[in-house]
Amino acid sequence: MKQIRRMKKKISMLLLATGLAASASAQLPVELNIQLDNPKGKISSHMWGVFFEDINMGADGGIYAELVKNRSFEFDNPWMGWKKLEHASSEGAYLLLNDQQRKGNKRYVRLTNSAGSKLGLQNEGFRGMGIKAGATYEFSLQHRSNAPGLQVHVALMDEGDQVIAEAQRPLHATAAWTETALRLQATATTGKAKLKIWFTGEGTVDVDMLSLFPLDTWKGRPKGLRKDMVQMLADMKPGFIRFPGGCIVEGRDLANRFQWKKTVGSIDERELIINRWNTEFNHRLTPDYFQTFGLGFYEYFLLAEDIGAAPVPILNCGMACQFNSGELVPMDQLDEYVQDVLDLIEFANGSTATKWGKLRVDMGHPQPFNLKMIGVGNENWGPQYIERLAVFKKALNAKHPEIAIIASSGTDPEGERFEFLDDKLRAMHIDIIDEHYYRPPSWFLSSASRYDNYDRKGAKIFAGEYASHTTRPNGPGKSTWEAALSEAAFMTGLERNGDVVEMASYAPLFGHVDGWQWSPDLIWVDNLQVYGTPSYQVQKLYSTHKGSDIIPVHRDGQPVAGRDSLYASAVYDQNTKELLIKIVNYNSKPMPLRFAIATDRKFAQVAQKISLANKDLNVSNSIEEPLNIQPKQTDIRFKGKTLTDSLAPYSFTLIKLQTK
Ligand code: AHR
């Protein structure tokens, strides 16, 4: 008899371990106990954020709404993106000049027009230009000329060379460089427009900064950001925005690193550089990818403020990307790099009495940007990183003890490189450790309890870049429901451990369908449209339901972190007085559940249930079908303190319960 009982026990343990128990006992609800009156800690106010990098045409050709590619002829090939419109009869009618005395932007074009000719240029845009019927666009150029009576003409053409907008205006004779603008209204919509600019009248004109922006930008700012793309970020209510990367911080070599000082001040004086992603992947070469820095550090801070996100700049630590050149700044020459970090704090927070604070004020922002944390190094590693970081830390702690330092634990979330860095960073009392994980869905599922036993006394964790890659390492990953659901499951672990996990951001943020290098990405765009992937929908549900207190969710006294492919966490929001329960059912079958809320509080008997679900894990969203995976809301009813419900197969569910 004893033997039979033992055998039964063995079999049921085996079933449990293989996850078959739930389906075998499909009718019995799983009991989850929600300890509402026993919060375990606080969720950080900037827990869920976004990671912005100019990769996949995220900035130039993306969120930065400039439609003209190579507007100042500063690309390595100065004519890239441009076509000369008319072959002039005289030699030298089109000249490219390089004036070494001009700051940042040295090249310009000189056109000499004879009576009756129409010299000009055509620009192809960033894989075309996105133009919308009825919308107004502002063309501007800088010119100088001593010829009276010149006219500038501008036209937008569709794919078939039909004119869809046209305007012209006189160009005054002026010895000094002068900006002139004119507006065009489009009669048709196309994502593949091109721009034609030509001149009539007789004489010579120098032109530069040929530019075209929609008037309808984010917050209507002239020469601003693409409204639909920023809106996607604002909708997430992100707690922070990390910028400008990513590997772009490091550069392929040190000359190619991101230098914030070169991205502030007058836009036409910002010196562009080749984008490191231009040449990164042989299978995704993007020869026309440059950083013009129209979206520079001032604009990044402004964007952070606009979307209510804490700014999280990451700066170079004196090391170029170790996947590329791995160039190092000698230890005795680090001063410039350290000074860049100190000066950035002054730029963000300093008063008008300071050099960099004054620049911020002059650029239009008298109030400080309220910078509270800064990253030193992106994915850097080895003792070389640690010894450099120590120099930054000493200077920062001495001058700005109020600023939290974020430091990198390398490229992977485990292994020798990670262990070495994690030990060293903890020993040197780094405030926040930046962990990165690009891993398959199975890793995300099995790592849902990664932080359950993390050290609570030392550094906080920033899950600074992560994404579930269904096809890694064999090719570009698709942003499928499988990837998103495994991230949702993992994120229950981040939320449950919100007392040690300070911040988290999916990476990368944007991908342009015609110009990407890295996939999957959170949000995809073409020149006209934008959509959120299933992962975006997951991120948004978390970040818009962040809560303030961590509420334990137990099954048989244990966290719900993968048994029977169920994952759960909960938070309470002190402001809205809502209990927010998040649950993932990673089963192909429905999962009956019973929630018991352990509380002395009163709460509403009807709760909202918001679900993302699909039986097919391969489903994705797309430009054509942007909302295949989208939240659906229903009401569910409690009976006293318990609720019995069934979770859909392969679903992520948020339950919102109003307490009184
Ligand atoms: O997110 C894309 C890249 O992944 C980042 O630039 C880098 O930090 C990581 O390797």
Note the pLDDT tens digit of each residue in 547-570. Answer: 999 999 999 999 999 999 999 999
Residue 90, pLDDT > 80, answer: no
Please work out whether the CB of residue 495 comes within 6 Å of at least one atom of ligand 1.
no
Q: How much distance in Å is there from the Cα of 246 to the middle of ligand 1?
A: 5
Predicted pLDDT at 15? 40
Q: How much distance in Å is there from the Cα of 467 to the middle of ligand 1?
A: 11
Output the CA–CA distances (angstroms, integers) from residue 69 to 76, 122, 126, 222, in the order listed: 13, 11, 6, 18
- Provide, rounded to the nearest whole percent, the portion of the chain with pLDDT above 70: 95
Could you give phi then psi for residue 447, rounded to 5 degrees?
-105, 15
Q: Which atom of ligand 1 is nearest to 53's Cα?
A: 6
Please work out whether the CB of residue 652 comes within 6 Å of at least one atom of ligand 1.
no
Residue 449, pLDDT > 50, answer: yes
Tell me the one-letter amino acid at 33: N
Residue with tokens 């920062």: 396
- The residue whose C-alpha atom lies closest to atom 5 belonging to ligand 1 is 246
Predicted pLDDT at 18? 40
**CA–CA dist 123, 68 (Å, integer):** 6
Q: Which pLDDT band holds residue 471 (cuts at 50, 70, 90)? A: confident
Q: Are residues 316 and 244 in contact, defined by beta-carbon separation less than 8 angstroms?
A: no
Q: Which atom of ligand 1 is nearest to 438's Cα?
A: 4
Please work out whether the CB of residue 378 comes within 6 Å of at least one atom of ligand 1.
yes
Beta carbons within 8 Å of 576's beta carbon, 6+ residues apart: 658
User: Of residues 250, 379, 435, 502, which has the active-site annotation?
Assistant: 379
Predicted pLDDT at 4? 43
Burial readout 27-54 (b: 16 or more C-beta within 10 A, e: otherwise): eebbebbbbbeebeeebbebbbbbbbbb
Q: Which pLDDT band holds residue 198 (cuts at 50, 70, 90)? A: very high
Q: How much distance in Å is there from the Cα of 278 to the middle of ligand 1?
A: 14
**CA–CA dist 97, 72 (Å, integer):** 11
Q: Which residue has the higher pLDDT, 511 or 476?
A: 511
Angle at CA of residue 40, ends 37 and 45, nearest 5°: 105
How much is the average pLDDT of 127-156? 97
Q: Which atom of ligand 1 is nearest to 465's Cα?
A: 1
CB 104: neighbour CB atoms within 10 A?
A: 16
Beta carbons within 8 Å of 12's beta carbon, 6+ residues apart: 21
Please work out whether the CB of residue 518 comes within 6 Å of at least one atom of ligand 1.
yes
Q: How much distance in Å is there from the Cα of 481 to the middle of ligand 1?
A: 22
How much is the average pLDDT of 416-420? 98
Note the pLDDT tens digit of each residue in 55-77. Answer: 999 999 999 999 999 999 999 99
- The residue whose C-alpha atom lies closest to atom 3 belonging to ligand 1 is 246
Please work out whether the CB of residue 124 comes within 6 Å of at least one atom of ligand 1.
no
Q: How much distance in Å is there from the Cα of 476 to the middle of ligand 1?
A: 14
How much is the average pLDDT of 339-362? 98
Beta carbons within 8 Å of 172's beta carbon, 6+ residues apart: 178, 180
Please work out whether the CB of residue 379 comes within 6 Å of at least one atom of ligand 1.
yes
**What global pTM score does this model have?**
0.95
Predicted pLDDT at 472? 58
Q: Which atom of ligand 1 is nearest to 51's Cα?
A: 1
Predicted pLDDT at 22? 44
Q: How much distance in Å is there from the Cα of 51 to the middle of ligand 1?
A: 10
Which of these, 212, 225, 100, 97, lies nearest to 152 by C-alpha position?
Answer: 212
Residue 1, pLDDT > 60, answer: no
Please work out whether the CB of residue 508 comes within 6 Å of at least one atom of ligand 1.
yes
- The residue whose C-alpha atom lies closest to atom 2 belonging to ligand 1 is 508
Please work out whether the CB of residue 246 comes within 6 Å of at least one atom of ligand 1.
yes
Residue 20, pLDDT > 60, answer: no
Q: Are residues 635 and 608 in contact, defined by beta-carbon separation less than 8 angstroms?
A: yes
Q: How much distance in Å is there from the Cα of 113 to the middle of ligand 1?
A: 48
- The residue whose C-alpha atom lies closest to atom 1 belonging to ligand 1 is 508
Predicted pLDDT at 6? 47
Predicted pLDDT at 284? 87
Q: How much distance in Å is there from the Cα of 100 to the middle of ligand 1?
A: 35
Q: Which residue from 50, 53, 284 has its CB within 8 A of the most atoms of ligand 1, so it is best to mutate?
A: 53
- The residue whose C-alpha atom lies closest to atom 8 belonging to ligand 1 is 246
Predicted pLDDT at 7? 45
Predicted pLDDT at 395? 98
Q: Are residues 249 and 322 in contact, defined by beta-carbon separation less than 8 angstroms?
A: no
Average pLDDT, the chain: 94
Q: Which residue from 57, 247, 248, 519 has its CB within 8 A of the most atoms of ligand 1, so it is best to mutate?
A: 247
Beta carbons within 8 Å of 112's beta carbon, 6+ residues apart: 88, 90, 92, 93, 95, 119, 203, 204
Give the helix/strand (H/E) hosting 591. Answer: strand 591-597
Instruction: Please give the full DSSP string across 62-91, using - where no structure is assigned.
Output: TTB----TTTTS-SSSTTTTEEE-S--SST
Q: Are residues 208 and 17 in contact, defined by beta-carbon separation less than 8 angstroms?
A: no
Does residue 379 have an active-site annotation?
Answer: yes
Please work out whether the CB of residue 532 comes within 6 Å of at least one atom of ligand 1.
no
Note the pLDDT tens digit of each residue in 363-405. Answer: 999 999 999 999 999 999 999 999 999 999 999 999 999 999 9
Q: Which atom of ligand 1 is nearest to 507's Cα?
A: 1
Angle at CA of residue 45, ends 40 and 46, nearest 5°: 120
Percent helix, strand, coil in the chain, to 5, is 25, 35, 45
Instruction: Please give the full DSSP string across 437-476, using - where no structure is assigned.
Output: EEE-HHHHHHTTTTTTT--SSS-EEEEEEEEE-SSTTSSP
How much is the average pLDDT of 419-445? 97
Q: How much distance in Å is there from the Cα of 589 to the middle of ligand 1?
A: 36
Q: How much distance in Å is there from the Cα of 539 to the middle of ligand 1?
A: 18
Please work out whether the CB of residue 435 comes within 6 Å of at least one atom of ligand 1.
no
Q: Are residues 150 and 203 in contact, defined by beta-carbon separation less than 8 angstroms?
A: yes
- The residue whose C-alpha atom lies closest to atom 4 belonging to ligand 1 is 246
Q: How much distance in Å is there from the Cα of 245 to the middle of ligand 1?
A: 7
Q: How much distance in Å is there from the Cα of 247 to the middle of ligand 1?
A: 5
Please work out whether the CB of residue 207 comes within 6 Å of at least one atom of ligand 1.
no
Please work out whether the CB of residue 53 comes within 6 Å of at least one atom of ligand 1.
yes
Which of these, 128, 32, 47, 90, lies nearest to 514 by C-alpha position?
Answer: 128
Residue 122 structure tokens: 């055509």
Predicted pLDDT at 13? 41
Give the helix/strand (H/E) hosting 13. Answer: helix 2-18
Note the pLDDT tens digit of each residue in 222-276. Answer: 999 999 999 999 999 999 999 999 999 999 999 999 999 999 999 999 999 999 9
Q: Which atom of ligand 1 is nearest to 247's Cα?
A: 6
Beta carbons within 8 Å of 50's beta carbon, 6+ residues apart: 233, 236, 238, 240, 241, 242, 309, 505, 506, 509, 522
Tell me the one-letter amino acid at 281: F
Please work out whether the CB of residue 126 comes within 6 Å of at least one atom of ligand 1.
no
- Among 11-15, 36-40, 301-305, 529-533, the range scoring the smallest mean pLDDT is 11-15
Q: Quick one: CA dihedral 112, 113, 119, 123, positive or negative?
A: positive
- The residue whose C-alpha atom lies closest to atom 9 belonging to ligand 1 is 246
Residue 174, pLDDT > 90, answer: yes
Q: Which pLDDT band holds residue 283 (cuts at 50, 70, 90)? A: confident
Q: Which atom of ligand 1 is nearest to 378's Cα?
A: 8
